[in-house]
Amino acid sequence: MAEGEAVEVPNKQVILRDYVSGFPKESDFMVRTSTIRLKVPEGSNAVLVKNLYLSCDPYMRSRMTKLEGSYVESFVPGSPISGFGASRVLDSGHPNFKKGDLIWGITGWEEYSLITTPETLFKIEHTDVPLSYYTGLLGMPGLTAYAGFYDVASPKKGEYVFISAASGAVGQLVGQFAKLLGCFVVGSAGSKAKVDLLKNKFGFDEAVNYKEEQDLEAALKMYFPNGIDIYFENVGGKMLDAVLVNMRLYGRIPMCGMISQYNYEQPEGVHNLFCLIAKRIRMQGFLVFDYYHMYPKFLDTVLPLIREGKITYVEDIVEGLENGPAALIGLFYGRNVGKQVVIVARE
Amino acid sequence: MAEGEAVEVPNKQVILRDYVSGFPKESDFMVRTSTIRLKVPEGSNAVLVKNLYLSCDPYMRSRMTKLEGSYVESFVPGSPISGFGASRVLDSGHPNFKKGDLIWGITGWEEYSLITTPETLFKIEHTDVPLSYYTGLLGMPGLTAYAGFYDVASPKKGEYVFISAASGAVGQLVGQFAKLLGCFVVGSAGSKAKVDLLKNKFGFDEAVNYKEEQDLEAALKMYFPNGIDIYFENVGGKMLDAVLVNMRLYGRIPMCGMISQYNYEQPEGVHNLFCLIAKRIRMQGFLVFDYYHMYPKFLDTVLPLIREGKITYVEDIVEGLENGPAALIGLFYGRNVGKQVVIVARE
């Protein structure tokens, strides 16, 4: 072949059929096979990657909707969806990346992707930990947990911490950070398996199965007779209302997500906001995109904790891109136990 | 008379008949005449005062309810209510106060009060400004505005500021602080008279009569095409929802009060809290009680501004304790134009 030519290969892709309303269904997606040339176009600074692991994250729900002026962009109906992944560089037009490098960042839900914004990618330098971790613990959700807990929550040793969606990618890490700091930590999750994980695997002090509680407010009162200093908010809605009345004076609520609300056309109303005044509570939304500059410091903190076994991590791994849509929508039904990952290819 | 004896005098008092539900009515109160001895009991450190001005404040609504574990205490049915006032000391058992001093702080809604917690009182040192100001601009509401704006809101020159209940004791001052800092300031209020006050008296850039807006969200969009950096929250409910979608990235919402909600058994739901995440907004409740240590600094800042005419202040003054209940409940119907004060006595 002449210079610049390359074989076209089949490229399996996950396509969004149309914008989604209500709970997403598997039939909102289809898997089709396209073709791709495994070479970066002449003169482009793009990067061509083979995708190995893809991350299923709750924020992706909003991308299934027609968005205007949001912090993320809508998926394009009829095109492959995208999300965080860990991938191998096959060809590069960008000076920071070369063939053979491993990267994590936003890539396509397909076997191979041409990434035209390589400046958004992170090079993976440490491979003594599982590569899939870079879709979670060592990637976007991990940095989210780190920034949300240490920066937004202003935590202090001995404080009372409550985490919703606690067995998810972000929650499990926040809980472990809080335990390492010497906090009392309770998490909520939606099944016995998840609750067991929180208590027996991640070392939470207590765990609540919110689906089995008739009265969340009373349940929280039982776990936190002195109230909650920090509520790490992942779910919104009724849980937030129940937490607000159980907060302590000068409490903090880092707002990371509201997964309970993403499938509603009209979000539920939150009624107990006056508690913010009476208890002088700070409720603060944040997005990980504002904290990417902290990534090297985050790695310096977390990698040793993983190597020393002081932080553990549970993934729910699904094999094969064709099983991706089911895994992704499973998030919104709480089907995953631990961080939901899709393996596209084992090298 | 022998040492320690004193004449008993009639003492007109405003009594809460019983706990209030829904909007308070004049008939929830009665005025009765008791008697009081104008002398501090032997050995007590109390202070005996003649009340001159009493302050009508929105937070008093919650004290009309049976409260448990709140930041304020319920009024006692059958007893005189209490609130902030400016008063003359007639007798004192406390070393910080002597006969003839002027004070402001929590006192009874009555002609004369025996104050048994004199450590909560502030001595009035500057009398070149109207004494009534110490129930508002130079008292609790003034310090509330100062702390909420400068400390909680983290304001910057040129920012876009929106204030609800803007012609009230706190709102009018926040707006003037914001103008002095070089912000663009819009206030909302519920009548033409109040809106005129905001624009023509307090120098707000724009003012909204929220009762005349069919679509608050659209109205705010018109006044703030680039969005709101700081929302000084005094009302809650639907207004908060309309503001949330109009906030800018990294906005701040100091939460001072929620007067639109105080008369509901179940507060309205707020639906747009996801905006806090997408826009990285900090919403923070505060209470003036945490800022009393800033009072001297506050006076040093605000007294010169008053003397130089750089800050103006509008009061709605009602004459006579017997007209107090109507003035107090008028707050919750938006009847007052400016800070609502009751004159008990002119010296």
Torsion-angle region of B100 (φ positive above 0: left; ψ -120 to 50: alpha; else: beta): left
Binary contact (A272, B267; C-beta < 8 A):
yes
The mean-pLDDT minimum among A169-173, A233-237, A262-266, A308-312 falls in: A262-266
Confidence (pLDDT) at B69: 76
Q: Which residues of A touch B257 (CB under 8 A)?
A: 277
Q: Are A200 and A337 in a shared domain?
A: no
Confidence (pLDDT) at B263: 80
Taking the C-alpha atoms of residue A329 and residue B216, their distance in angstroms, rounded to an integer, is 36
A44 in contact with B, Cβ within 8 Å: no
CATH code of the domain containing A206: 3.40.50.720
Q: Are A268 and A160 in a shared domain?
A: yes
B281 in contact with A, Cβ within 8 Å: yes
| pLDDT band with cut points at 50, 70 and 90 for residue A13 | very high
Token pair for residue B52? Answer: 């001159």
The mean-pLDDT minimum among A227-236, A260-269, A308-317 falls in: A260-269
Q: What is the domain extent for residue B206?
A: 140-289
Confidence (pLDDT) at A211: 94
Write down the number of H helices and E strands in chain B. 9, 15
B73 in contact with A, Cβ within 8 Å: no
Q: Are B97 and B30 in a shared domain?
A: yes
Query: Is residue B51, in this structure, part of any structural domain at all?
Result: yes
Domain boundary at B289, B305, B329, which? B289
Query: Is residue B296, in this structure, part of any structural domain at all?
Result: no
Number of domains in chain B: 2
Taking the C-alpha atoms of residue B157 and residue B171, their distance in angstroms, rounded to an integer, is 18
**DSSP annotation of A72:** S
Write down the number of H helices and E strands in chain A. 9, 15
| pLDDT band with cut points at 50, 70 and 90 for residue A136 | very high
Q: Are B109 and B210 in a shared domain?
A: no
Query: Is residue A305, in this structure, part of any structural domain at all?
Result: no
The interface predicted TM-score of the complex, written ipTM, equals: 0.91
Confidence (pLDDT) at B68: 82
Question: Alpha helices of chain B — where are they, by DSSP H?
Answer: 60-63, 140-146, 169-181, 192-196, 216-223, 237-244, 274-278, 295-307, 324-330
Residue with tokens 């791709």: A36
Query: Is residue A1, in this structure, part of any structural domain at all?
Result: no
B154 in contact with A, Cβ within 8 Å: no
Torsion-angle region of A105 (φ positive above 0: left; ψ -120 to 50: alpha; else: beta): left
| Rounded alpha-carbon distances, angstroms, from residue B190 to A28, B172, B339 | 48, 14, 14
Segment A56-113, tens digit of pLDDT? 999 999 999 998 878 889 999 999 999 999 999 999 999 999 999 999 999 999 999 9
Binary contact (B271, A273; C-beta < 8 A):
no
Binary contact (A240, B273; C-beta < 8 A):
yes
User: What is the average per-residue pLDDT within A311-339?
Assistant: 94
pLDDT at A212 over 70: yes
pLDDT tens digits, chain B, 347 residues: what are they? 444 566 899 999 999 999 999 999 999 999 999 999 999 999 999 999 999 999 999 999 999 999 887 888 999 999 999 999 999 999 999 999 999 999 999 999 999 999 999 999 999 999 999 999 999 999 999 999 999 999 999 999 999 999 999 999 899 999 999 999 999 999 999 999 999 999 999 999 999 999 999 999 999 999 999 999 999 999 999 999 999 999 999 999 999 988 888 888 889 999 999 999 999 999 999 999 999 999 999 999 999 999 999 999 999 999 999 999 999 999 999 898 889 999 999 98
Q: Are B88 and B210 in a shared domain?
A: no
The mean-pLDDT minimum among A112-116, A320-324, B255-259 falls in: B255-259
Burial class (CB in 10 A: 0-12, 13-18, 19+), B137: buried
Taking the C-alpha atoms of residue B147 and residue B177, their distance in angstroms, rounded to an integer, is 11
**DSSP annotation of A233:** B
CB pairs under 8 A between A and B: 99
Q: Are B328 and B223 in a shared domain?
A: no
User: What is the average per-residue pLDDT within A246-275?
Assistant: 92
| Rounded alpha-carbon distances, angstroms, from residue A51 to A55, A63, A204, A292, A326 | 11, 20, 34, 22, 18
Q: Which residues of B touch A71 (CB under 8 A)?
A: 278-279
Q: Are B125 and B146 in a shared domain?
A: no
- B294-310 burial, b for 16+ CB within 10 Å, e for fewer? bbeebbeebbebbeeee
Residue of A nearest to B266 (CA): A271
Q: Smallest CA–CA separation between B59 and chain A, in Å?
A: 10
B289 in contact with A, Cβ within 8 Å: no
* Span between the terminal Cα atoms of chain A, in Å: 25
Residue of A nearest to B233 (CA): A277
**In what helix (H) or strand (E) does residue A303 lie, and over which residues does it extend?**
helix A295-307
A278 in contact with B, Cβ within 8 Å: yes
Which three-class secondary structure state does DSSP give residue A326?
A: helix
Confidence (pLDDT) at A5: 60
Q: Are B13 and B64 in a shared domain?
A: yes
- Find the CB nearest A70 among B258, B278, B282: B278
Q: Are B246 and B335 in a shared domain?
A: no
- Find the CB nearest A273 among B270, B280, B287: B270
Taking the C-alpha atoms of residue B257 and residue B231, their distance in angstroms, rounded to an integer, is 12
Taking the C-alpha atoms of residue B77 and residue B160, their distance in angstroms, rounded to an integer, is 44
User: What is the average per-residue pLDDT within A200-220?
Assistant: 96
Q: Are B110 and B242 in a shared domain?
A: no
Taking the C-alpha atoms of residue B219 and residue A296, their distance in angstroms, rounded to an integer, is 45
Confidence (pLDDT) at B14: 98
Vertex B267 angle, CA B264 and B272, to 5°:
145
- A190-213 burial, b for 16+ CB within 10 Å, e for fewer? bbeebbebbeeebebbbbbbbeee
Query: Is residue B199, in this structure, part of any structural domain at all?
Result: yes
pLDDT at A4 over 70: no
Q: Are A118 and A147 in a shared domain?
A: no
| Rounded alpha-carbon distances, angstroms, from residue A64 to A15, A329, B202 | 11, 11, 47
Q: Smallest CA–CA separation between B256 and chain A, in Å?
A: 7
Torsion-angle region of A43 (φ positive above 0: left; ψ -120 to 50: alpha; else: beta): left
DSSP state letters, B185-235: EEEEESSHHHHHIIIIIS--SEEEEGGG-S-HHHHHHHH-TT-EEEEEBSS
Taking the C-alpha atoms of residue B208 and residue A249, their distance in angstroms, rounded to an integer, is 34
A155 in contact with B, Cβ within 8 Å: no
**DSSP annotation of B112:** E
Binary contact (A273, B267; C-beta < 8 A):
yes
Binary contact (A256, B277; C-beta < 8 A):
yes
What's the mean pLDDT when you consider all of chain A? Answer: 95
Token pair for residue B193? Answer: 């008279």
Query: Is residue A189, in this structure, part of any structural domain at all?
Result: yes
Binary contact (A268, B272; C-beta < 8 A):
no
Confidence (pLDDT) at B57: 93
Binary contact (A277, B266; C-beta < 8 A):
no
Query: Is residue A236, in this structure, part of any structural domain at all?
Result: yes
Token pair for residue B203? Answer: 């120098």
- Find the CB nearest A277 among B270, B277, B285: B285
A contact test, residue of B274, B279, B286 with most A CBs within 10 A: B274
Confidence (pLDDT) at B1: 44
Q: Smallest CA–CA separation between B58 and chain A, in Å?
A: 13
* Span between the terminal Cα atoms of chain B, in Å: 25
- Find the CB nearest A274 among B267, B281, B290: B267
Residue with tokens 């008739």: A214
Q: Which residues of B touch A266 (CB under 8 A)?
A: 271
Token pair for residue B88? Answer: 């003359």
Contact B32, B65 (CB under 8 A): no
Query: Is residue A304, in this structure, part of any structural domain at all?
Result: no
Residue of A nearest to B274 (CA): A258
**In what helix (H) or strand (E) does residue A239 lie, and over which residues does it extend?**
helix A238-244
Q: Are B19 and B127 in a shared domain?
A: yes
| Rounded alpha-carbon distances, angstroms, from residue B83 to A21, A85, B134 | 52, 60, 13
Confidence (pLDDT) at B347: 82
CATH code of the domain containing A24: 3.90.180.10
